[in-house]
Amino acid sequence: MWSGNVKTALANLRSSKTRSLLTMLGIIIGVSSVITVVSLGEGLKQRLVGQIRQIDPAVVIIRPGKLVDTAGTDKMNLNLLALLSPTTLTENDVGALAKIPSVSTVVPLNFATNSLASDGRQLNNISVLGTTPSLTKVLDQKVERGAFFSEENEGEKLAVIGSDIAKQLFDGTNPIAHSISIKGESFIVRGVLAPSPGGLLSIAQTDFNSVVYIPFNEAKKISGGQTNILQILAGVRDGQNIDVAVLDVKQTLLNSHGNQDDFTVLKQRELLKLANDTVGSAAGFITAIAAISLLVAGIGIMDIMLVSVSERTREIGIRKAVGATNRQILNQFLVEGMALSVGGGIIGITMALLIYFGLRLYTRLEPVLTAPIMILAVVVSVVVGVIFSVAPALKAARKDPIVALRGE
Amino acid sequence: MALIQLQEVSKIFGFGEATTLALDEVELTVEKGEFLAIMGPSGCGKTTLMNIIGLLDRPTHGKYLLDGRDAAKLRSNQRAKMRRDRIGFVFQFYNLLPRLNVLHNVALPLAYRGMMPVRRLKRASDILEQVGLRDREYFLPKHLSGGQAQRAAIARALINNPSIIIADEPTGNLDSHDSKVVMELLADLHRQGHTILMVTHNPELTRYASRVIYMRDGTIVEDESTSIGAVAKGALRTYLRRRKTTQEDVIAGVSALLKDVPGKELASQPKIAKYRKLHKRARRRIRSKI
Ligand SMILES: Nc1ncnc2c1ncn2[C@@H]1O[C@H](COP(=O)(O)OP(=O)(O)O)[C@@H](O)[C@H]1O
Ligand SMILES: [Mg+2]
């Protein structure tokens, strides 16, 4: 009976193709957008997590402003406003932190500028960061060619460039010892970083592939003695408890900020959680919108099916006259509604796959498709189909055969 | 035991002002193997009677025994199964499903019995052979002539080898040639032992019947046993009177055929009191349900 129902359902849907397609449109859009959005979120999350994992777990991260709003709950909310306001971290803070016994290394990331030039080529939208040679101790940044600058290089104008910058400026030729111009000052390329999980968005506000590291003091010099410290990384001394270090760091900063709590101290683990929570809540929000769109799609299916039941009153009467039970009529229309929504789901998944490959090929968004989301999409479309076919199917099953046969 | 037994069967449609008394305490017994023709003017309740006998509808009052079983005690899905296995319907407008080909239309009752597609299509094909439509198996209903469509409908009615075949004006939409083909088919089935109930307006077709009942205003006003091959006497009277359409009838738009049905004098007695009584009973019943 089921295979027969499926066949009948498909025949009926085929006989009114345009209508069937229009009915499925809601499901198609709903399913494909959910999959796309979730795959983008997943891609973003994986990249963020990859970036954060480059930070040594035994490192305390200090950010300006109240970046995280915990509000007494377990959940961490990213305070996006904090990313826009000017930094509250100063060179004094770096000095003060260096004196804490539980901390061994203190590495500032000082934003100098966002452009550089070389051989007449200009790159914008990059980050030139002033930092110290200890960066490699707290951040897992592999140097692919050359070396990071060291203590002995104090006073020299050296630069370590990200892999994307190397590609864009030097087209595969060895950039080492070439000179680049930052704010009119000439710097010599000392090393090139290995590619890291890059991204357009990142909590560190930097894509490590398009970063240029120069010595802290040189960065300060080309900015006219000003600093703009985006972040301070403090390595915990061996054998010290990281939570003790966090408390020490907080206390020290409160002291040097005149008791103003205008900074954020995080552990790597918290940063990971922050990334997960942030992407998760964004995805949750979008999923809620998608759920509403599926609801609307379901109501669309119900509507069209109700019209279809009215139009096929006579057919229902005939089927009952030749011996169809109410149950059998019910099943027929349930299967039809399900075929509509499963069909929509399949088309939606196909669309999502096309979008996925399109994004992979033509953008840097790097979406990640996972099996659970695809399965979920199919299940959801089946469930929507069943739920919203119930009312029309019941209407069909309850039709009085006499009235149905009279209806010309 | 009689195959069909109706005792004081009444049917009321609608409520309040819009109430119609479609059947008025009908008494009818049909034995197995009869070919019963039902005649009467439009709106006299023939279709309603067929629907009740065919388990498509329930009487408002009275008792219907099918093979000795009280139809009122059957649940909805039992009624559906009885329709499927014991009753074959043939309608005036064929009522084939437009989107299914002839073969699938004929096999439909078997599908509801859960028979495998290969078997049921084979069986449908055999039945189509019997009605002479083997070469039209893959046609859609819209590509059949009226006679062919009605034969396909008869094939569908036959496929479960039902004991009762109910044909409501089966030739109402056919020309005389197609009518004859369809009637010969029904006569054949009658000879094979099927019980046939046929509504018709055509007195000529009573030749095929073994018994004719005449209805008017929801009651049976005459019940006549006839010999097969001869036009029934009551029908003949209508037939002969048919030409006597008066000028008033033409002006009133009444067809003589519909007007002149035997038993007129019986039926013309006032029924308002009876109707009121029934109606009251119906209302009481409805109230007690709420
Ligand atoms: N489902 C229904 N609802 C309301 N009235 C109906 C219904 N079916 C039949 N009737 C009424 O019952 C009467 C008998 O109808 P019907 O049995 O179809 O007559 P016939 O078949 O003899 O022409 C008519 O007056 C008709 O209008
Ligand atoms: Mg009728």
B86 at interface of A, judged by CB pairs closer than 8 A? no
Using a 6 Å cutoff on CB, does residue B47 contact ligand 1? Answer: yes
Check if B43 has its Cβ closer than 6 Å to any atom of ligand 1: yes
| Assigned domain for A250 exists | yes
pTM to 2 decimal places: 0.72
Does position A251 have pLDDT exceeding 80, yes or no?
yes
As a whole number of angstroms, the distance between CA A192 and CA A272 comes to 27
- Smallest CA–CA separation between B241 and chain A, in Å? 31
Q: Is A402 in the pocket of ligand 1 (CB under 6 A)?
A: yes
Residues A149 and A206 in one domain: yes
A120 — pLDDT class (breaks 50, 70, 90): confident
Is a pLDDT exceeding 90 seen at residue B230? no
Whole-angstrom Cα distance, residue A58 to residue A69?
23
**Do A402 and B112 count as a contact with CB atoms less than 8 A apart?**
no
Q: B56 at the A interface (CB within 8 A)?
A: yes
pLDDT of residue A215: 94
Asked if residues A32 and A351 have their Cβ atoms less than 8 Å apart, the reply is: yes
What is the spatial distance between Cα B144 and Cα B142, in angstroms, rounded to a whole number?
6
pLDDT at residue B283 tops 90: no
pLDDT for position A29: 86
By the CB < 8 Å criterion, does A327 face chain B? Answer: yes
**Average pLDDT estimate for B7-23:** 90
Answer whether A403 touches B (CB < 8 Å).
Answer: no
Each residue's pLDDT tens digit, A144-158 = 888 999 988 888 899
Number of Cβ within 10 Å of residue B140's Cβ equals 16
Residues B197 and B254 in one domain: no
A308 and A235 housed in the same domain: no
Instruction: Name B20's bridge partners.
Output: B13
- Does any domain span residue A66? no
- Decide if B112 touches A, using CB distance below 8 A: yes
Enclosing domain of residue A386: 2-49+277-406
Report the C-alpha gap between B64 and A203 in whole angstroms.
81
B101 and B220 in a common domain: yes
Question: pLDDT tier at B198 (50, 70, 90 boundaries)?
Answer: very high
Higher pLDDT, B72 or A364: B72
| Partners of residue A315 in chain B, C-beta under 8 Å | 97
Q: State whether B56 and A11 contact (CB < 8 Å).
A: no
Residue B38 confidence (pLDDT) = 95
Find the domain containing B61 and state its range: 4-242
Q: Pick from B83, B99, B100: which is nearest to A321 by CB? A: B83
Read off the tokens for A356: 């996925």
Which ligand has the minimum distance to the alpha carbon of residue A402? Answer: 1
B97: chain A residues, CB-CB within 8 Å: 315, 318-319
* Average pLDDT of span A135-143: 84
Closest-approach residue (CA) in chain A for B83 = A323
More confidently predicted of A370 and B121: B121
Question: Residue B107: CB partners within 8 Å, gap ≥ 6?
Answer: B117, B120, B121, B123, B124, B159
From chain A, the residues in CB contact with B108 under 8 A are: 319, 322
Whether B211 and B198 have beta carbons less than 8 Å apart is answered as no
N- to C-terminal Cα separation, chain A = 28
Could you tell me if the CB of A403 is within 6 A of ligand 1?
yes
- Asked if the C-beta of A320 comes within 8 angstroms of chain B's C-beta atoms, the answer is yes
Residue for token pair 């049976």: B220
Q: Cα(A371)–Cα(A348) distance, rounded to whole angstroms?
A: 15
| B44 C-alpha to ligand 1 centroid (Å) | 8
A98 and A44 both lie in a single domain:
no
> Closest chain B residue to A404 measured between Cα atoms?
B56
- Long-range contacts of residues B169-173, Cβ cutoff 8 Å, at least 24 apart: B169/B91, B169/B92, B169/B199, B169/B200, B169/B201, B170/B90, B170/B91, B170/B92, B170/B198, B170/B200, B171/B200, B171/B202, B171/B205, B172/B92, B172/B200, B172/B201, B173/B92, B173/B93, B173/B94, B173/B146
Q: Which residues of A touch B76 (CB under 8 A)?
A: 325-326
Q: Residue A365, CB half-sphere, CA atoms under 13 Å: how many?
A: 19
- Is A398 in CB contact (< 8 Å) with chain B? no
Tell me if B112 and A12 make a contact (CB, 8 A cut-off). Answer: no
- Give me the pLDDT at residue B267, please: 39
Question: With 80 as the cut, is the pLDDT of residue A199 above it?
Answer: no
User: Does the beta carbon of A10 lie under 8 angstroms from any beta carbon of chain B?
Assistant: no
Q: Which tokens is A373 given?
A: 């989301």
The ligand with the least distance to the CA atom of B53 is 1
Does B109 touch chain A if contact means CB atoms closer than 8 Å?
Answer: yes
Is there a single domain that holds both residue B100 and residue B231?
Answer: yes
Q: Both B70 and B209 in a single domain?
A: yes
Count of positions (residues) in chain B: 290
State yes or no: pLDDT of B256 exceeds 80.
Answer: no
| Residues B112, A319: Cα–Cα separation, whole Å | 9
Structurally, chain B folds into a number of domains equal to 2
Most confident of the following: A181-185, A294-298, A380-384: A181-185
- Which chain B residues contact residue A322 at CB under 8 A? 83-84, 89, 108-109, 112, 156
Query: Do both A121 and A252 map to the same domain?
Result: yes
CA atoms within a 13 Å half-sphere pointing along the CA-CB vector of A41: 20
Q: Is residue A84 part of a domain?
A: no
* Chain B closest-CA separation from residue A392 CA (Å): 19
> Tokens representing B126?
């055999």
Residues sharing a CB contact under 8 Å with residue B247, sequence separation 6 or more, in sequence order: none
Do the Cβ atoms of B117 and B67 come closer than 8 Å?
A: no
Domain closes at, from B225, B242, B259: B242
Q: Which atom of ligand 1 is nearest to the CA of A406?
A: 1
Total domains in the fold of chain A:
2
pLDDT bucket at A279, cuts 50 / 70 / 90: confident
Instruction: Assess whether B64 and B189 both reside in one domain.
Output: yes
Model confidence pLDDT, tens digit, residues B39-70: 999 999 999 999 999 999 999 999 999 999 99
Residues A299 and A252 both lie in one domain:
no
Nearest CA to ligand 1 atom 26: B43
Chain B interface includes A81 (CB < 8 A): no
ipTM above 0.90, yes or no: no
CA of B48: which chain A residue's CA is closest? A402
* Cβ neighbour number for residue A72 with a 10 Å cutoff: 5
CA distance B124 to B106: 6
Output the pLDDT for position B272: 47
Residue A60 lies in a domain: no
**What is the edge-to-edge ordering of all strands in the sheet holding B195-199?**
B87-90, B164-168, B195-199, B35-39, B211-216, B219-225
End-to-end alpha-carbon separation of chain B, Å? 37
Which of A237, A261, A285 corresponds to the end of one domain?
Answer: A261
**% chain A with pLDDT above 70:** 92
In whole angstroms, give the CA distance from residue B237 to residue B229: 17
User: Does one domain contain both A120 and A228?
Assistant: yes
CA distances from A193 to A140, A144, A155, A257, B220 (A): 10, 5, 22, 35, 103
Say yes or no: B82 and B211 in one domain.
yes
Min CA distance, B115 vs chain A (Å)?
8
Q: Which 8-state DSSP code applies to residue B207? A: G
Whether residues B188 and B275 share a domain: the answer is no
Ligand 1 site-directed mutation target among B19, B26, B38, B47, most atoms within 8 Å of CB: B47
B149 contacts in A (CB within 8 Å)? none
Q: Report the pLDDT averaged over residues B81-105.
A: 92
**Mean of the pLDDT values across residues A221-240?**
89
Verify that A106 and A254 share a domain, yes or no.
yes
Q: Is A66 left (phi over 0), alpha (psi -120 to 50) or beta?
A: beta
Whether residue B81 and residue A402 make contact (CB cut-off 8 A), yes or no, is: no
pLDDT > 90 fraction of chain A, expressed in percent and rounded: 27
**Is pLDDT above 80 for B242?**
no
Residue A78 lies in a domain: no
| CA of A8 vs chain B CAs: smallest distance (Å) | 9
At residue A341's C-alpha, the angle toward residues A339 and A342, to 5°, is 65
| Average confidence (pLDDT) over B172-185 | 89
B269 three-class SS: coil
Q: What is the dihedral of CA B240, B241, B246, B249, to 10 degrees?
A: -120
The CATH number covering residue B159 comes to: 3.40.50.300
> Higher model confidence: residue A386 or residue B37?
B37
* Ligand 1, atom 24: closest residue by C-alpha: B43
- What pLDDT, on a 0 to 100 scale, did the predictor assign at position A390? 93
Q: Does residue B103 share a domain with residue B39?
A: yes
Q: What is the pLDDT of residue B215?
A: 93
pLDDT of residue B124: 93
Please indicate whether, in this complex, the C-beta atoms of B97 and A319 are within 8 angstroms of each other. yes
Tell whether A216 and A309 lie within a shared domain: no
CB-count exposure of residue A311 (10 Å: 0-12, 13-18, 19+):
exposed
A68 domain residue, yes or no: no
pLDDT tens-digit map of A12-62: 777 777 888 888 888 888 888 888 888 888 888 888 888 788 788 888 988
Question: What pLDDT score does A204 carry?
Answer: 52
Do A203 and A78 form a contact (C-beta atoms < 8 A)? yes
Report which residue type is found at A254. Answer: L
Do A218 and A341 belong to one domain? Answer: no
Nearest CA to ligand 1 atom 7: B13
Residue A217 inside a domain? The answer is yes
Write the CA distances from B203 to B214, B240, B242, B262, B284, integer angstroms.
Answer: 11, 10, 10, 12, 41
The pLDDT, as a whole number, for residue A74 is 62
Q: Does residue B110 share a domain with residue B230?
A: yes
Q: State which of A197, A232, A261 marks the end of a domain.
A: A261
User: What is each CA distance from A284 to A41, A77, A291, A375, in whole angstroms?
Assistant: 10, 13, 10, 17
| pLDDT for the residue A296 | 84
B85 vs A: CB within 8 A: yes
- Distance (Å) from CA B188 to ligand 2 centroid: 24
User: At a CB cut-off of 8 Å and minimum separation 6, what does A294 contact?
Assistant: A26, A27, A30, A31, A34, A380, A381, A384
**Of A101 and B229, more confident:** A101
**Residue A196: pLDDT band with limits 50, 70, 90:** confident
Give the pLDDT confidence score for residue B290 in this predicted structure: 45
Please tell me whether residues A384 and A294 are part of one structural domain.
yes
Q: How far does CA A309 lie from the centroid of its chain?
A: 44
Q: Find which of A322, A327, A394, A402 to mutate to test the B interface (most B CBs within 10 Å of its CB).
A: A322
Check if B13 has its Cβ closer than 6 Å to any atom of ligand 1: yes
- Say yes or no for a CB contact (<8 Å) between A325 and B80: yes
Tell whether ligand 1 has an atom less than 6 A from the beta carbon of residue B15: no
Supply the pLDDT for residue A327: 94
Which residues are registered as beta bridge partners of A186? A181
User: Which among A216, A236, A261 is the end of a domain?
Assistant: A261
On whether residue A219 sits in a domain, the answer given is: yes
How far apart are the CA of B79 and the centre of ligand 1, in A? Answer: 21
Contact A234, A267 (CB under 8 A): no
Of residues A261 and B87, more confidently modeled: B87
Question: Mean of the pLDDT values across residues A152-173?
Answer: 87
- B226 vs A: CB within 8 A: no
A367/A314 same-domain check: yes
Judgement on whether residues A19 and A146 belong to the same structural domain of the protein: no
- Give the helix, strand, coil percentages of chain B, each rounded to 5: 45, 20, 35
Ligand 1 site, residue B42, Cβ cutoff 6 A: yes
**pLDDT tens, A333-389?**
998 888 888 888 899 999 999 999 999 898 877 888 888 888 888 888 888 888 999
